[in-house]
Structure 1
């Protein structure tokens, strides 16, 4: 099961995902993140993945969708704290070459 939390501070919205990000949770994650971007207008979105225990290729769709959404709106987009298994998926897809990934929480 996927859990989504948010925190907003000084124009930065952090959306944290914890649990399993799979094809069952991907659509809901996108919809909730878009709702949060409307509720908390920001200049920067940080997607904190440090709490993920599993991610399949559906997680790529979530990250790519949020990256495109931020690019269209002029927001900075950062993926933070991706655990080793999801990071391998991102690296295999070449995402670190097109967006910012940070270690840690």
Structure 2
């Protein structure tokens, strides 16, 4: 898993590339949490455009960041969700808890 961060005004964008599974979930969560606590953005954007595989550990990463952002009166938005990760999100009905911005066609 490779992640890059970009700060855009009051928004922290996290671009995810690779696979999200139980082997990388803790490190991924810790890295994102560190940036959130340091920058205190109003919106956390998780860009799933480069994610090729995700298991339930990926859902835990998203929901944990949601909890942290909610504690700081912030929000979470998911972008570029497709393929296998989208199926996992749909089955778990995560869209009830976080905003998923659909790709424009």
Corresponding residue for residue 10 of structure 2? 11
Q: Tell me the number of residue pairs that the alignment of Structure 1 and Structure 2 aligns.
A: 104
Q: TM-score, normalised by structure 1?
A: 0.93
Cα distance in 2 between the residues matched to 1:19 and 1:103: 20
DSSP-derived class of the 2:40 partner = coil
Q: Deviations over 1:33-80 (max 9, x none)?
A: 001112322111101111101111110100110111111110121011
Corresponding residue for residue 85 of structure 1? 84
Q: TM-score, normalised by structure 2?
A: 0.93
8 Å Cα contact 1:50/1:104 also seen in 2: no
Cα distance in 2 between the residues matched to 1:94 and 1:9: 28
List alignment gaps of at least 5 residues for structure 1.
Answer: none
Structural RMSD (CA)? 1.3
1:1-105 aligned within 5 A: 2-104=1-103
